[in-house]
Amino acid sequence: MKWRSFFGKDDPRVTAPIVSWKIILVIIGTVFLFVAAQTAVISRYLDNVAAMVSVLTSYLTFVCMVFALGIWVYWRQTTGKPLRRIARAARRVASGDFGVQLPSGRKNGKMNEIDVLSADFNTMVRELAGNEMLKSDFIANVSHEIKTPLSIIQSYTKALRDGAAPPDQREQYMDTVIEAAGRLNAMITNILKLSKLENQQIFPTPETYQLGEQLRRCALGFMEKWQAKDIDFEIDVEDVAVCCDAELMELVWNNLLSNAVKFTPPGGKISLRSHTGEGKVYVTVRDTGCGMDAETARRAFEKFYQGDSSHASEGNGLGLALARKVVDIAGGRISVESEPGKGSAFTVELNTV
């Protein structure tokens, strides 16, 4: 491994040396010419040792200067120039310019260490640009989402304090305040959970448990809500063992079931099913709600994205982002199939024990 690192083979992307074989041949040819010239000098002053030493000293000094100049020019063009370009680009990135991209130095597709460094720099800048955009959107959305319930709480409590609320509507005003405070609390809780999952590196050790039992328990937690809407709820789950963080996975099921109940109209249908195959279990939550178009389905797992504005007061667009992060941590996959007017089906794929 040490020898592979010495020759630059620790990175499989390095397919070309910094010093090409053509340059090596030029160096060998130049050395041969200098040696031939040195031999001629020795032959010329063979009978005069003092003169030969003087001439050889001057000649070797000249040769060293030529080699030093050649090495300096070659290094400056092949290594120093791209390094200076990277340094200038790094300063631009440090000043907040994330549109910097370094040109590719190779035309034949082969890369040396400098080319790999430039490619990694470009990847880093693109990731930073994406993170900066995500952070800006996140801050904008958080400020908007927090402002809405705070405005409701402020206006309604002010009306109650000043006696502007009609006596027969005071209870309704208080319920509205309580609902807005609950939304604010749920949003902050989800933001903290999502932020923790995105930034922590060490997660609780997963444990083996029965997934079917957990799914039934989560479904029963929404019984009152689906019965209030006269929804036909079907459960058909297999008893299968998985190795995950049960508490985190419960967030996924609760979110998917909550969305299904929220978007399914009265008299609709929700099904919770699971099946196994090839060492995996597939859990599907299907509803007969409003459904989503292709663009909404594609962005469904983005933070704060809410495709159906008519239900914006019932959520904050963080649940599915949180669910996807949990599933990623568990080593699984989550996907959605949906059509407008035909409902949605969210499927979670997990490894079985």
The three-state DSSP-derived secondary structure of 324-339 is: HHHHHHCCCEEEEEEE
Average pLDDT, the chain: 82
* Residue 320 in this model has a pLDDT that exceeds 70: yes
Quick: pLDDT tens for 207-244. 999 999 999 999 999 999 999 999 999 999 999 999 99
pLDDT at 28 over 60: yes
Which of 70, 100, 68 lies closest to 85 in space, CA to CA?
100
**pLDDT at residue 338 in the model:** 92
Residue 286 has pLDDT above 90, yes or no: yes
Look at 308 and 47; give whichever has higher pLDDT: 47
CA 31 to chain centre: 53
Q: Confidence band (pLDDT; 50, 70, 90) for 146?
A: confident
pTM of the model: 0.52
pLDDT digits (tens, 9 = 90+) for 74-98: 888 878 888 888 999 999 988 888 8
User: Measured in whole angstroms, how far is the alpha carbon of residue 205 from the centre of its chain?
Assistant: 23
Q: Residue 21's pLDDT is what?
A: 74
Note every long-range contact of 169-177, with CB atoms under 8 Å and residues 24 or more positions apart, other chains counting. 176/152, 177/152, 177/153
Separation of CA 277 from chain center: 29
Cα–Cα distance measured from residue 323 to residue 330, given in angstroms and rounded to the nearest whole number: 11
When comparing pLDDT for 193 and 332, which is higher? Answer: 332
d(CA 77, CA 65): 18
Nearest of 353, 157, 336 to residue 244 by alpha carbon: 353
